[in-house]
Amino acid sequence: MAPPPPSRHLAVKPRSLKLLEDIGVACDHIVETMTGLSLPQYAANYHLRNDIERELTRLGEAAMLLLKEDPSYATRISRASNIVGMRHRLVRGYDHVDDEILWETACDHIPRLRREVAALIEEQLSRIPRPDAGSRS
């Protein structure tokens, strides 16, 4: 069942919108960087792995802040708790990072997350009052 359309009377939350945009930028960078790369190519390139880990950490931090700002996003973003959990693993358990899991996340899960976040950004933007197109100042 699809969620109901956003109500135009709900207030835009600038901080939530900024965090969604940050997640979207990180997703875009990950998808752009990883497109066409095999797991062996990814695993063999230290600088590439470091770049993707940094973006996943940034993405997870933004998701964690977003969930604190507006807990309703926990049910509106697939695997929200896993995203935050991966951030914690990258920051605190860096010596136990599995390249295969990161590669799979980047290739399989991040594109879906990007689509979800794009829809949530559009929802936020649709709440911004727009001047009537027919009126003139």
How many domains are contained in the chain?
1
SS (H, E, C) the chain: CCCCCCCCCCCCCHHHHHHHHHHHHHHHHHHHHHCCCCHHHHHHCHHHHHHHHHHHHHHHHHHHHHHHHCHHHHHCCCCHHHHHHHHHHHHHCHHHCCHHHHHHHHHHHHHHHHHHHHHHHHHHHHCCCCCCCCCCC
- The pLDDT score that the predictor gives to residue 8 is 44
Q: Is residue 99 part of a domain?
A: yes
Q: What pLDDT digit, counting tens, does each position of 65-121 carry? A: 999 999 999 999 999 999 999 999 999 987 889 999 999 999 999 999 999 999 999
- At 10, the pLDDT band (50, 70, 90 cuts) reads low
pTM, two decimal places: 0.84
Q: Is residue 1 part of a domain?
A: no
pLDDT at residue 11 is higher than 90: no
Residue 115 lies in domain: 14-126
